[in-house]
Structure 1
């Protein structure tokens, strides 16, 4: 069978230059990303990988030792940078042991190989082992996207990497067979050329996926900004309405409960009048911080406007909401002393609590909690009132 000759150096040149260009594109797109840590390491990884591949273009014998060192060490470090970038992007702590294994395997291969010639098979297999560890660790990471918007892209990346690993195993299985001096029927140039083409396609697709992930995160960040209160970092009214609808759907689906708390800072107008709006902003930020530190990660917290705040305890009931509201009330009263405002009385907060009944929405429950809140104001402020207690009182 006649086979078209595959020019390996040309493939290496195309792949190396492509990696460098993709690295530059990632660096450029980072100008529009508020969190550049993940994509920054991706760009570094692609650049190192491109450098490693471009070493195949040189054949001068006196350069072979330097080229081999560059190729294998850059390949290992590129895998480390890419994997570390994915951990940072996905808000996961890096696994330093895995990174250490990936970095040290190419170095071991360089140290124990009999020569520094390019065809030292054992050295190639050690570096390939480092790449395999990288791909397996990345597959595990991609199982847990940090937000729903990137879940589909993570799924496509898992499929892409799994398919590539089939060719990866075939390529380095052939090299392993040659190292063990087993008979291999496939010509060396043929399988190297096929693997080079597959690697070129994989590299392009993988890099495009990385850029797409960055763009999705930038877009999600803009969406978050539209739903976030600029001063406290909590949700604004728009964000609260959106997540309230999601919780309504969850409660109907699971036949479960939620509870709502409304907060209002007592005599807040006096702070603005006596100390100015910057001092008032500090008070608002402090209450936002107190609320955030006293609720769970999946609960919903928002600043509805002015000095009014609200919390949705997802899956909670009235008794739990009363406990949380009391903690926030006491914590805010204590921590507000650190602001050093010369008020006759310390800053306090009032709260109204209600459990969301099955046939009501979160927004309807907020109205009921607001009524309980103003009952707390009328009762003397600096207290928590449950809507159920108002209903009981009106029924007597």
Structure 2
């Protein structure tokens, strides 16, 4: 049996860990020795609840070099990684060594990563077999996060810094995109050519969606006992607040909009936050709202008539694979990309937020209300979502991914 390390971008969100968890559970069933690497609070809780090992890396040094200006519009991986400190060569060197130490301690036979630049860099330095799990917008052959507009010049670019580190270790240099660092010996794309289009020349394997807890019977009794005469709407905000001050990633705008528009309507609303605390302003919710920090997503999406969420790639695929239409309130560029792909598939709508001077996001309540009732009332949205779900069944998901990982580990 193989020792397998599962690494990812470290953020207090469930998206990356939810992507890897189904693969980890399948590999664990086959007897492999697994360890995750993510020290953020919510992902750590999910890993612990799954009964799996976690070996988080504590950075020995924090970045001090950042772009002179931060923008809520993140066009591509180069710009996004510059906000994570990859313009600082001392930080890049240090975080690579931090991951090298952790990998040397665990000594995996293979590394499986999603979006984890430091882990991918360390794996390449150690010459460890690397499988990367990605999506179209994070692939070098993709069009970036804002593919419907022309990319502006002079965006922050950490590639020269990363290339200096690669050169120090005698490794091939990146040609111009940080996403090249995320390309392993094997590249698996979550989704399908419809949900995550890439050129035919790309050296990838589509594996379809990755889901955990697919049976509706896994849902809590209180959800199963909700009145079936009314529509069931699942509102998934993800992390409402990332800090004390408003940030570009905050999803509190979704909860505020849903409370105002859906409160006391003739529908049942299940609100979840992905193991994140519910802000105090929602201590009292409308009578038709039901809050839980976490509920098995795919099962709840299958049970629901409509999903309203922030546009994360995992949420985007969860709704589609369940055959349930969605309304997305995308909180930043990568999520707007997913929202636009959803509407292109005819499986939902999106409402773009605007940002006030104080950093808080707002949306048009009239537009949001109209689109909620439009999607609930027009069966074509559900039919289109079900067509996408049917096509997704052609792919092997976690079982296919585990098979491919095992083939590289041998």
Q: TM-score range by the shorter chain?
A: under 0.3
**TM-score when scaled to structure 1?**
0.22
- Between Structure 1 and Structure 2, whose CA radius of gyration is higher? 1
More helix per residue? 1
Larger relative CO (CA 8 A, sep 6+): 1 or 2?
2
**TM-score when scaled to structure 2?**
0.21
